[in-house]
Amino acid sequence: MILLMGIAGSGKGTQGKMLADKYGLHLISMGDVLRMYVTGKQRERMLAGGLLDDAEIIAIIDKVLSSIPDKQEVLIDGFPRTIPQAQWLLDQVENGRFQLDVALHLKASQDAVKQRLLSRARIDDTEEAIEARFSEYDRSTKPLLAWLSDHNIEVINIDAEHSEEEVNNDLAQHLQNLHKS
């Protein structure tokens, strides 16, 4: 299992697709899964840029992961996003359910990605929702990077301010090294 992490607009979706196609990985995009299933108040919260409840997210990812054949290598974009979510995942790893290989962190500043988000015009890409996602990221997800390292999960930082192609090459390089070792 490989985790893809990064601020909104850092290119997780685009890069995740490219990597999954190139290496035959099963791609799970948490945002896409939620946009498909979540309704009502939760959907409003999501579109406003807030995070959904850990318990709910965990129940959903648990089901999605159960539907994937054991042998299939999985690439997850957008999970875990909080320490409790990561704790759940590590518990699964410790119980032998999955093997966690690495977390790939697409590193970019808010300034660098803001324009990308505003020009893609997804329904939650309004100035307000973008700001909310940035602050949720700083509050809940950023501390996770150090937390994962502290729990012996390798976190690889990739400069996501480069062009799409350069970022893809960097990621591919790291994945190749991973497969060699």
Residues that bind ligand ADP (CB under 6 A): 8, 12, 30-31, 34, 46, 49-52, 57, 78-79, 81, 85, 133
Task: Determine the straight-line distance between the first and last CA of the chain, rounded to whole angstroms.
Answer: 15
Nearest approach in angstroms of CB 73 to ligand ADP is 20
Nearest approach in angstroms of CB 82 to ligand ADP is 6
Nearer to ligand ADP, 15 or 85 (CB): 85
Q: Is 176 helix (H, G, I), strand (E, B) or coil?
A: helix
Nearer to ligand ADP, 31 or 172 (CB): 31
74-77/26-29 β-pairing: parallel
Nearest approach in angstroms of CB 103 to ligand ADP is 13
Contacts of 153 (CB under 8 A, 6+ apart): 90, 100, 102, 103
Closest by alpha carbon to 149, among 3, 14, 12, 20?
3
Query: What is the spatial order of strands in the sheet that 26-29 belongs to?
Result: 26-29, 74-77, 2-6, 102-107, 155-159
Nearest approach in angstroms of CB 87 to ligand ADP is 13
Nearer to ligand ADP, 57 or 102 (CB): 57
Nearer to ligand ADP, 59 or 173 (CB): 59
Nearer to ligand ADP, 12 or 114 (CB): 12
Nearest approach in angstroms of CB 178 to ligand ADP is 23
| 169 CA to centre of own chain | 19
Q: Is the peptide bond before 143 cis (omega within 30 degrees of 0)?
A: no
Dihedral angle over CA of 118, 124, 128, 129, nearest 10 = -120
Residue nearest to ligand ADP (CB): 31
DSSP-assigned beta bridge partners for residue 153: none
